[in-house]
A and B are shown apart, each in its own frame.
Chain A
Amino acid sequence: QLQLLESGPGLVKPSESLSLTCTVSGGSISSSSYYWGWIRQPPGKGLEWIGSIYYGGNTYYNPSLKSRVTISVDTSKNQFSLKLSSVTAADTAVYYCARNRKYYDSSGLRLNWFDPWGQGTLVTVSS
């Protein structure tokens, strides 16, 4: 079945950039029915959507993070990646990648549920 796995450094210094990769196995990232998303969860807190990307490269970002976020896709490797710049301690979180269902209705594109999710990776921002 489809599986996602996050990878990347577990420790990042303040003001530097956080970079993570999600590897998709058991299926193709080049599906017309899905986007691919990043979601984070600070320790002891709730979930926050970061952004989602289509295999063709189209992206949507959380407006509160948009100025610092870049999500990219590499279909040849069946991977998509997250870069978050100028990190602070507030960016310390477990970062999840997940498949993101998309729909079209009478008014256009909608982003919907996430399934499956990767296991998550803890990224700590500290000097």
Chain B
Amino acid sequence: QSALTQPASVSGSPGQSITISCTGTSSDVGGYNYVSWYQQHPGKAPKLMIYDVSNRPSGISNRFSGSKSGNTASLTISGLQAEDEADYYCSSYRSSTTLEVVFGGGTKLTVL
């Protein structure tokens, strides 16, 4: 069982918007603004899409945005395009007896 909870799948039509949730606890998502999101196409390495909850690395489309409320972070993709179809993972710093990084179980995005 993954440390952070994501829906297994979401879908949307081209041009629509979708949101993927990532639920943790006050020890990770809720306690720190160190949430990041990754896109992974089949057979490829993950790619950083959002860091520090809502910041986009250089070169990432502004169709991707992130937010957080309480213990749940969210990734929103607007203006869905066929190439957005991929797996998406959230990640967070976690404070426990040591320092940790935890991932969500991943969400498969299907563009209909």
The CA of A113 and the CA of B32, in the complex, are separated in Å by: 13
CB distance from A42 to the nearest CB of B (A): 12
A52–B91 Cα distance when bound, in Å, is 15
The answer to whether B100 touches A49, judged by C-beta atoms less than 8 angstroms apart, is: yes
Chain B contact residue count (CB 8 A cutoff) = 26
CB of B93 within 8 A of CB of A46, answer no
Q: Within the complex, which residue of A47, A61, A112 is in contact with B89, where a contact is CB–CB below 8 Å?
A: A47
Contact B48 A114 (CB under 8 A): yes
- Give chain A's interface secondary structure class: strand
Give chain A residues whose Cβ lies under 8 Å from the Cβ of B101. Answer: 37, 49, 52, 100, 111-112, 114
Would you call B102 an interface residue if the criterion is a C-beta within 8 Å of the partner chain's C-beta atoms?
Answer: yes
Number of contacting residues on A, CB 8 A? 27
A118 to chain B, nearest CB (A): 7
B48 touches A113 (CB 8 A): yes
Q: How far is the CB of B34 from chain A (nearest CB, A)?
A: 5
Chain A CB within 10 A, most for which of B2, B47, B99: B99
Interfacial residues, chain A to chain B (CB-CB below 8 A): 37, 39, 46-49, 52, 60-63, 96, 100-101, 103, 109-120
